[in-house]
Structure 1
Amino acid sequence: MRISQFQKYSQKENTVTNNILLMLSRLNDLKVEYYKSIIEKLSDGGQSYEPQANFLQQVGSNRGIIDGFIEVKASKIVIETKLSQRELIKKLTKYGAVFKKGVQNQLWHLSSNCYSDEEVEIINDKLKKEYPEIPIEFNNLLFLNLIENLEEIYEENVHDYELKLLYEDFRDYCYEERLVNDSAYKLLFVPTGWSYEWNLKHKMYFCPINWHKQEFSYFGLYKSKSVRSFSKVENVIEADYDFPSKTLSVKTKNHTDRQIERLELALLNYGESQSGLKYYILPEDEFYITDFKKDSKGGIQGFRYKDLRHFIKEENLVHLENQNTERIAEILKNKIWK
């Protein structure tokens, strides 16, 4: 197993903050443009961010034309990290004292539980009242925002292997430390290719045991730039199969006779021995065809996760866990993703 770049032995706030700063530092080391991009993506005000010197020539001024000009714009970012709670507003706004005039100032509150819109308005009003001459941008951030924006940067630069490792390690760290809890809204979908007909016929998917570490509620089969099916997962069974002897060795418990029967029939139809795999057993009845299309170039590199709240806001399906799976599958037929 490859060594992760992020410590996983504690959930204390200083460890979480250290790993966030490590991620941002590594991003900057890989390419300054990556670091610039994530800060701008996280900025609530959408303002540009300049973390490096600008080299200019023939710059106009009221004293004439300057031949050469090098400018480093001053900026400060203050990060207040909480695990699952929110900082007291009175304490949070006191951090504004470290900011200065003429500087691009950002105050981040980073947690798995962000402030409400009303609380954000209160915070911004207090910052303006307490520091009237200092512009301070307040950013109300979730750990999930860091993951999603880092993912966007990776998807824009998919050939950068070091960036890929950084994104995957940071994503896995946040989920394994339970800094993100969006499983009720999450869809996992997997590429199938030539096995699609087998997957569809048996309503089943297999992969190595250590794949798909994040928790999720919905599962989809992907083929030809679209998620083609939508369901929940009935069970996950770890097993080895010897095709010559038709022997199934089940490694996990809490399965039904019908699920084992389905697995044996599917593997017999597959026609090969297999080991070290887990099998996603999908429902026989509540399994729906959809057409959740990818609207960008190329296919996908391995499995993907999507937060369904990004795609069904307008239908007012606020609590997905209480929604009918078939209804969500129908809605996704008219949605696209990149």
Structure 2
Amino acid sequence: MADVTRFPRYHQAENVVTNHVMVMLRMLYNASPKLLEGLLQALCADEVTVGPRFSQQVAGAHSVPDGLILQEPLAVFVETKLGSAADPGQLRRHCRTIVDRLPGRKGTYLVSLTAGQRGSIPDEVMEMAREHGIKVVPASFGDLVEQVGQLPVTDLALREVVQEFTDFVFSQGLVPREDQFLVAMLTGTSWRDNLAHGVYYEPVDRNPKWQRAAFLGLYHDRQVSHVGRIVAAVAAVQDAAGEMTFDDPETGSLDDARRQAIRDVVAAAQAYYPGLEASRHRYYVVDAFTPTDFRKRTGGGMMGHRYFDIENLSGARLPNRAPGTLAAQALDGRLFD
């Protein structure tokens, strides 16, 4: 067993990536077990418990102790693949290894981490795992960096590490090609103004959506109603003199027209979001919002932003640097769950 280190001696790319993933998880735990717990709960879609729980007056079969400190058993095994598919044979062998190492253990997870989109686990592997109380969790590197980016990290140094980890994952090509992806963003009161000015905004501490998607869609009334290609993403805030100040663009470029579009959407938001300009937000400017009808088939609203693979949905690959109009056409009339 090799220790996780910030300075790995590995030469094989897969081992280096695995080490960096484990370092990130360890740093989250060291900062707060709750951060690691939140990440594992999001990835595993389960009530994963990390660390002890403190209770009082817990009734038992024969008495009611005044206090209880309980730590549930937890074991998380991670298998990484730099390709888009897991190795079923290897996962079966991992299950046997887990049973040999931790016989009868509850709270055991095997996370199958792959590049590209989240893959599926063959039924025979899932059945074998269930027989031994192991939960196999398929996850993509995109899922991982997305969930890490959503954690309430307040420590500035750790936030920098999270961003560096995200940059590393993207630099290794482990997240799908963004030129074929749409991020659908929830809109409510701001929908008309987002549409009118071609700008969407979010707090700057949220993970940058342009890193995973070239196109942005406005989700409204159970459908993605309009799509545009992201041509600029920039953080901005109002200065002491009352003027909007812009950072260097994170992606794309700014000109006077795009800066004015941001000012205009901020001015329009004063009717329902007073003070928007006083806190730093990230503004996404699109080439234009083109109407489409990409509708949610199942009941209920979309719970948060979502990424969609346009190529897989439409069956045709968008050309390089395709405008938003082509993405809107490719999604028009299609459904999602």
Query: TM-score, normalised on structure 1?
Result: 0.56
Asked if 1:321 is matched to 2:318, the reply is yes
Unpaired runs of at least 5, structure 1? 190-199, 202-210, 221-227, 236-274, 285-290, 333-338
- The offset of 1:116, in angstroms, is 4.7
- Cα distance in 1 between the residues matched to 2:134 and 2:273: 36
Aligned in 2, Cα 1:303/1:23: closer, same or farther, shift over 3 Å?
farther
- 1:1-338 aligned within 5 A: 12-43=13-44, 46-96=45-95, 97-98=97-98, 99-113=102-116, 116-117=119-120, 119-128=121-130, 132=131, 134-154=132-152, 157=153, 159-183=154-178, 184-185=180-181, 214=211, 217-218=214-215, 230-231=228-229, 280=253, 301-302=281-282, 308-309=307-308, 316-317=313-314, 321=318, 325-326=324-325, 328=327
- The offset of 1:330, in angstroms, is 8.9
SS at match of 1:73: coil
Q: Which amino acid aligns with 2:139?
A: L
- Aligned-residue CA RMSD (Å): 4.9
SS at match of 1:56: strand
- Cα distance in 1 between the residues matched to 2:282 and 2:11: 29
Q: Which amino acid aligns with 2:76?
A: I
Provide, for residues 304-332 of structure 1, a one-character-per-residue CA deviation record: whole Å limited to 9, x for no partner.
7986418x89x954657268722646999
- The offset of 1:160, in angstroms, is 3.9
CA contact under 8 A between 2:227 and 2:327: conserved in structure 1?
no
CA contact under 8 A between 1:187 and 1:218: conserved in structure 2?
yes
CA contact under 8 A between 1:50 and 1:73: conserved in structure 2?
yes
- The offset of 1:217, in angstroms, is 3.4
- Cα distance in 2 between the residues matched to 1:110 and 1:19: 13
Aligned in 2, Cα 1:102/1:188: closer, same or farther, shift over 3 Å?
closer
- The offset of 1:164, in angstroms, is 2.3
CA contact under 8 A between 1:113 and 1:142: conserved in structure 2?
yes
- The offset of 1:215, in angstroms, is 7.5
Pair member with larger Rg: 1
SS at match of 1:321: coil
- Cα distance in 1 between the residues matched to 2:135 and 2:63: 34
Aligned in 2, Cα 1:116/1:329: closer, same or farther, shift over 3 Å?
closer
Aligned in 2, Cα 1:11/1:307: closer, same or farther, shift over 3 Å?
farther
Provide, for residues 12-43 of structure 1, a one-character-per-residue CA deviation record: whole Å limited to 9, x for no partner.
11111110011011111111111100000000
Aligned in 2, Cα 1:143/1:150: closer, same or farther, shift over 3 Å?
same
Q: Which amino acid aligns with 1:15?
A: V
Query: TM-score, normalised on structure 2?
Result: 0.56
- Cα distance in 2 between the residues matched to 1:144 and 1:10: 23
- Cα distance in 2 between the residues matched to 1:153 and 1:42: 12
- Cα distance in 1 between the residues matched to 2:250 and 2:114: 35
Unpaired runs of at least 5, structure 2? 1-5, 186-196, 199-207, 218-225, 233-247, 258-264, 286-304, 332-337
- Cα distance in 2 between the residues matched to 1:89 and 1:278: 39
SS at match of 1:165: helix
How many positions carry a matched residue from both structures? Answer: 243
CA contact under 8 A between 2:184 and 2:306: conserved in structure 1?
no
- The offset of 1:72, in angstroms, is 1.1
- Cα distance in 2 between the residues matched to 1:125 and 1:35: 27
Aligned in 2, Cα 1:34/1:141: closer, same or farther, shift over 3 Å?
same
- The offset of 1:126, in angstroms, is 3.0
Residue 265 of structure 1 is matched in structure 2 by none
CA contact under 8 A between 1:185 and 1:308: conserved in structure 2?
yes
